[in-house]
Structure 1
Amino acid sequence: MTIDFTPDPALYPFESRWFDAAPGRLHYIDEGAGTPILLCHGNPTWSFLYRHIVTRLREHFRCIAVDYLGFGLSDRPADFGYTIEEHARTVGALVDHLGLDGFVTMGQDWGGPISMAVDVDRADRVRGVVLGNTWFWPADNLTMKGFSRVMSTRWMQRAILERNFFVERLIPRGTARGLGPREMDHYRAVQPSPGARRGVAEMPRQILAAEPLLRRLAADVPTRLGAKPALLVWGMKDTAFKPGACLPRMKATFPNHVLVELPTAKHYIQEDAPDVIADAIAERFG
């Protein structure tokens, strides 16, 4: 399945690019020049989430924002499993295709585990990491486990697939500022039907199902990436990845870190505080 949608250039002023990964065609943008930074989204978002950060950074950075298969403008292959392991493999293939070296990654929500999986396999080419409102270890609290189990029930899977629950309910709840109608339409338009939402529906199940990958990352990230310069940008009003539960482990993993607290931001920090995040990236890695 392909997505027939052209973003409004006033909101998304970027050239669409395509990579023919083995499972399907991957959409991404590649804007600017300088230190490459790979921007990895979560659920149910796409590269549109990073639009303000890219426009602010592209004068000094090469900004690459990808849509995973099943998200954004990328294909929805019928035989793809939409697991986190598969997403990391296809994003890693894009990194290798582009020949990125000395690159930085940013991951938020599922973009954290996906970017970390890409990085640990290419640690010698990674310059630094940016992480915000995310994790990379097996679910270790009742909130995450309960969310995964509830979202995996038949009733909630139907709500996600048939009523676009993640876009209609969780994006508004996860942003401190109210998104405008045209912005919400850009999130709706790339998830137009139940068949287009299989990737969105699978991600909450992966919180528990991806435990083998998350267990490997819990061991490999500190040993292979722990010495890298890190930037932690954290929405302090996020109820999913509360700072008190996540930041101590992040800070312990990356001793060479800078922490930027976003006091009013909720889960989708790229929507709530893009300028602060972009400026922090420029200061840390510019």
Structure 2
Amino acid sequence: MPDFDPDQSLYPFTSRWVTLGDGTRMHYVDEGTGPVLLLLHGNPAWSFLYRNIILGLRGHFRCIAPDLPGFGLSQARAGFGYTAKEQADVIVDFVDQLGLKGIGVMMQDWGGPIGLHLTQTRPQSVERLIIGNTFGWPLKRRGPRVFSSIMGGMAGRMGAKHFNGVLLWFFRMGVTKPLRKEVWDMYQAPFKQRKKRAPTHIFPKQLTEADEFLQRVEEGLSAISNRPALILWGDKDFAFNGDERGRFETAFPYHLSITLKGAGHFIQEDAPDAINKAVLDWYGYSE
């Protein structure tokens, strides 16, 4: 059973569940009609991150936002390790189970490698990419490697367990506009119980431990380079800077690149209106 009830004044969506082949019980929302937008979150968020995107776009799109296992309301199978590769394979199974086609994938944070893996694995199903403040290759810069060793090591593990430290740090550093209390409460809700917090420090650890998976994602970029890409980049991100953006612009020559001025890592929180306008314009819905 779910551990919490989303605040319907902020997240006015019908919750849906699907049981995947490995036993994972995935929670997702499915709102609107039209071209499919698959909205992939990263760490330590859940589909709540996309609430304003869904509200702004469901009049033109079928917006599908799943919670990764261990996040939000999804329930991982027994023995699930919460690694990047496992999470990516779950999303492939999720798309297969729902029979999704003609997908535009929006990806941010760990949603990037996961969404790119989906595109490489099911190229017949994904038509467009919406890329925001993410990556698709092993991170070799010293900053991410040090961050991984701290947040993914003993300090991060103990901090996450005892005071939800990873969540607190990410959302203090990752937004430029302070979160209202009721919004902050919803981000904390999945991790109120200490036993639920492990996934939040596993993803930072994966920044170094998932190098093999990330290398395969990088090697597969050329095979999907013909996809139209909308690159939306917050210019105040603590994690990903212009280097990652430039690599995506090179990897996807058929791109439109837009700067979200003043937006931090969680662009969905800092710039939802600009994102919605960019997506509508890019799909040709502008008035």
TM-score, structure 1 normalization: 0.96
The one-letter amino acid paired with 1:272 is: D
Preserved contact between residue 240 and residue 267 of structure 1 (Cα < 8 Å) = yes
The residue correspondences of 1:44-83 to structure 2 (distance < 5 A) are 44-83=44-83
RMSD of equivalent CA atoms: 1.1
Task: Give the one of 262, 265, 271 matched to 1:264.
Answer: 262
User: Could you say which residue in structure 2 is the equivalent of 1:155?
Assistant: 155
| Partner residue, 2:87 | 87
**Correspondence for 2:244:** 246
Counterpart for residue 281 of structure 1: 279
2-side partners of 1:152 and 1:55: how far apart?
A: 34
The yes-or-no answer on 1:208 pairing with 2:211 is no
Conserved? CA contact 1:37–1:62, under 8 Å? yes
1:192 offset after TM fit, Å? 1.2
Shift of 1:177: 0.5
SS at match of 2:42: coil
Residue type of the alignment partner of 1:89: D
- Aligned counterpart, 1:40: 40
| Contact 1:53-1:274 at 8 Å conserved across structures | yes
SS in 1 for 2:124: helix
Q: Which amino acid aligns with 1:5?
A: F
2:121 matched residue in structure 1: 121
Q: Offset at 1:101?
A: 0.9
Gaps of 5+ in 2: none
In the alignment, residue 137 of structure 2 is paired with which amino acid?
W
Q: CA deviation at 1:247?
A: 1.6
Does structure 2 conserve the Cα–Cα contact (< 8 Å) formed by 1:132 and 1:235?
A: yes
**Amino acid in structure 2 at the alignment position of 1:117:** H
Equivalent position SS for 1:39: strand
CA contact (8 A) 2:152 2:206 kept: no
List 4+ stretches of structure 1 deviating above 4 A.
none
Amino acid corresponding to residue 83 of structure 1 in structure 2: T
Q: Give me the whole-angstrom Cα distance separating, in 2, the residues matched to 1:253 and 1:112.
A: 14
Cα deviation, residue 78, structure 1: 4.1
Distance 2:14 2:111 in 1: 22
- What's 1:186 paired with? 186
Say which is worse superposed, 75-84 or 187-196, in terms of deviation: 75-84
Q: For residue 195 of structure 2, what is the aligned residue in structure 1?
A: 195
Give distance in 2, aligned partners of 1:279 and 1:137: 29
Q: Secondary structure at the match of 1:138?
A: coil
Show the counterpart of 2:111: 111
3-state SS, counterpart of residue 137 of structure 1: coil
- Cα shift at 1:76: 4.1
Aligned residue pairs: how many? 283
